């Protein structure tokens, strides 16, 4: 069962991020708000906003304790965000060093030990929101649900392509 104070914290955080997204002027604003909001929502050490770019995942923004992948592109089939978009469902990665969906050469030199990723527009994903922890952590259903809610808000706030 979820800690009531943590549930309240998540609800307040989601309400604040939703309000900020309502006033987003462009995709840059959406990216920044979502990255910062996702990190706070999940009490994570980092978060990334990822968009699908053809057969690549474009890491457009991040909010993290150390630089990760902002500005980089990875093949859809060699990236957990790509997996999430292709499978159209969230991924919970308890240990990045023990999950075959994780490109070890990219993750090994980072602080990341655990992750959770949700698609943006699950029926036809255009992107993903990823959160990371520097310790072993298994994202629970409450964290995934909160991130899914954020992804819905992000999808609504994104300018039409």
| φ, ψ (nearest 5 deg) of residue 102 | -100, 125
Residue 38 has pLDDT above 60, yes or no: yes
Task: List, as own/partner pairs, every contact residues 19-26 make where C-beta atoms lie below 8 angstroms and the sequence separation is at least 24, other chains included.
Answer: 21/153, 21/154, 21/156, 21/157, 22/157, 24/157, 26/159
Alpha-carbon distance of 66 to 42, in angstroms, equals 17
Over the chain, what is the mean pLDDT?
94
Total length of the chain: 161
- pLDDT value, residue 161: 52
Q: What is the pLDDT of residues 64-78, one digit of tens each?
A: 999 899 999 999 999
At 2 the pLDDT is 65
On whether the CB atoms of residues 51 and 22 are closer than 8 A, the answer is: no
């Amino acid at each position: 069962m979820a800690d009531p104070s943590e549930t309240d914290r998540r609800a307040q955080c989601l309400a604040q991020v939703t309000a900020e997204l309502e006033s987003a002027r462009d995709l840059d604003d959406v990216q920044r708000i979502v990255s910062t909001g996702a990190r706070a929502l999940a009490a994570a050490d980092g978060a990334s906003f990822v968009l699908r770019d053809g057969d690549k995942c474009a890491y457009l923004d991040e909010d993290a304790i150390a630089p990760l992948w902002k500005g980089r592109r990875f093949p859809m089939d060699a990236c957990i965000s790509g997996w999430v978009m292709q499978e159209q469902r969230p991924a919970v990665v308890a240990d990045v060093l023990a999950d075959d969906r994780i490109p070890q050469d990219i993750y090994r030199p980072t602080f990341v030990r655990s992750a959770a990723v949700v698609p943006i527009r699950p029926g036809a994903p255009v992107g993903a929101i990823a959160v990371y922890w520097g310790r072993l952590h298994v994202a629970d259903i409450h964290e995934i649900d909160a991130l899914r809610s954020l992804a819905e808000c992000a999808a609504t706030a994104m300018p039409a392509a």
